[in-house]
A and B are shown apart, each in its own frame.
Chain A
Amino acid sequence: MAVVKREGNEKRSLEHKNQKCLGCGICTDICPTKALRLGPILPIARGILKSDFISIDQEKCCLCGLCSSSCPFDALEFCINDENTKNMNLYPHWNHYATIEEKECIYCGKCAISCPRDAIHLQRNLPARSDLVFGETEVDLNKCVYCGMCEEMCPADAITIEKNEISSDKPYVGTSTKIDESKCIYCGICKRICPEDAIKIVCTTCMNRDNAKPHPVDGDIILDEEQCINCGWCQEICPVNAANVKKPFKGNISFEENFKCKGDSCHACEDVCPCNAISIVDNHSFINPKFCVLCGACARACPQKGIVIERDDMELTNVRSKSWDKRLNSLKQSK
């Protein structure tokens, strides 16, 4: 974590938060005094090198705050008199976002599994099985020979046989056979496999149709905005359109015409991509633009310089200064 602080007429401070940084280098492109330096992102991403993505040259940093306004991932906090410029009307605002509508969510959990930043937390309450299926079970222990076939066959793991440690004074294998009705689905497999006809299973689910009302699953789905980078995975993977994502940039990602990708030998792009938007398919980089935030880390990491990032538009508004507007708009030039 790099920090620059200075006090004059105003107290200004800039803080780099490495845990939020993607190593994309947007800030290093924007910095007018070349005070920010991007570290070796590939070894860092691979965990070979322990280092922050960004270092700040205290001597060169003029504490203008441009880098903080340019970072779409909130990795640079710039404060004037202890107030974050993100909360000030005079400074630019990013308008990208990600939301998950709890009303629409069916708690399937696909978003939580696919989120590359582990930013989605799901907790759901499922009904008891006994709310959905009905029936009766009975084991005739006078007939049961404790062969254990029912226990082995039961698909719901509902049957337990209490075994006896066999000895000359206790010359028997089992002491009881129990069916746990909170697990039993009354499928009848135990009844059919039992060689001694010791088990009775009656499924009354169909007869209890009126009681077998649908039991809606409830729960909580939480999107951690601190971790989220608006990559779009949740939106793409959600089966009921409960997730909405607005990305920081609009544009395209593509390959250079004569790009000779080294695929499995290299996979630098795949390793540095914070969005899990890149994989190596048939020994060639495969980029799914649906999951890309156009941060440009892959283009920087590619030793063959084969990836082209084109940003046509960005969700940055309230840029009040002309010089800042010019500087920040330079992000739209293709890389």
Chain B
Amino acid sequence: MPVIIDQEKCNGISECPGEGLCIKLCEKGALEEKDNQIVFITEKCDDCDICIQNCPSQAILKE
């Protein structure tokens, strides 16, 4: 199931309390930074949900 980044809650990596924690935690490299925003790469995701559980802004969810 694809992961969705709630752009209203996620204010970009520069404002993230975890300084891009989701990117650091993802073992599959399914989250990347592009122009201070989080980009999700569906093909790489293994649905482990670590990003969802650990996002300090609760900005990551599933469809």
Q: Tell me the A residues contacting B by CB distance below 8 Å.
A: 40, 42-43, 46, 48-49, 262, 264-268, 303-304
Contacts and interface: CB of A to CB of B under 8 A. Distances in A.
Contacts, number: 42
Interface stretch (B4-12, B20-28, B32-40): B20-28
Contact of A266 (B18, B21, B50, B56): B50
B48 interface: yes
Q: Which of B18, B27, B50 has the most chain A CB atoms closer than 10 A to its own CB?
A: B50
Given A43-B21, A303-B48, A266 B54 contact: no
A49 B52 CA distance: 17
Contacts of B47: 262
B46 A43 contact: no
B27 A42 contact: no
A43 B24 contact: yes
Closest 8 CB pairs of A and B: A303-B49, A262-B48, A265-B46, A266-B48, A303-B53, A265-B48, A48-B24, A303-B50
Nearest to A301: B53
A48 B21 contact: yes
A40 B56 contact: yes
B18 A49 contact: yes
A264 B21 CA distance: 19
Contacts of B25: 42-43, 46, 48
Given A40-B56, A43-B18, A304-B49, 5 more contacts: A42-B50, A48-B21, A48-B25, A265-B46, A266-B46
Contacts of A266: 27, 46, 48, 50
A267 B49 CA distance: 12
A171 to B, nearest CB: 64
Nearest to B21: A43
B46 to A, nearest CB: 4
A303 B27 CA distance: 14
A100 to B, nearest CB: 38
Nearest to B46: A265
A43 B56 CA distance: 11
Contacts of A42: 25, 50, 53-54
A49 B21 contact: yes
A268 B56 CA distance: 17
B52 A265 contact: no
A261 to B, nearest CB: 9
Nearest to A283: B46
B50 A268 contact: yes
Interface string B41-62: 0000011111011101000000
B41 to A, nearest CB: 14
B21 A303 contact: no
A264 B18 contact: no
Nearest to A48: B24
24 contacts: A40-B18, A40-B21, A40-B56, A42-B50, A42-B54, A43-B18, A43-B24, A46-B25, A48-B18, A48-B24, A262-B47, A262-B48, A265-B27, A265-B48, A266-B27, A266-B46, A266-B48, A266-B50, A267-B27, A303-B48, A303-B49, A303-B50, A303-B52, A303-B53
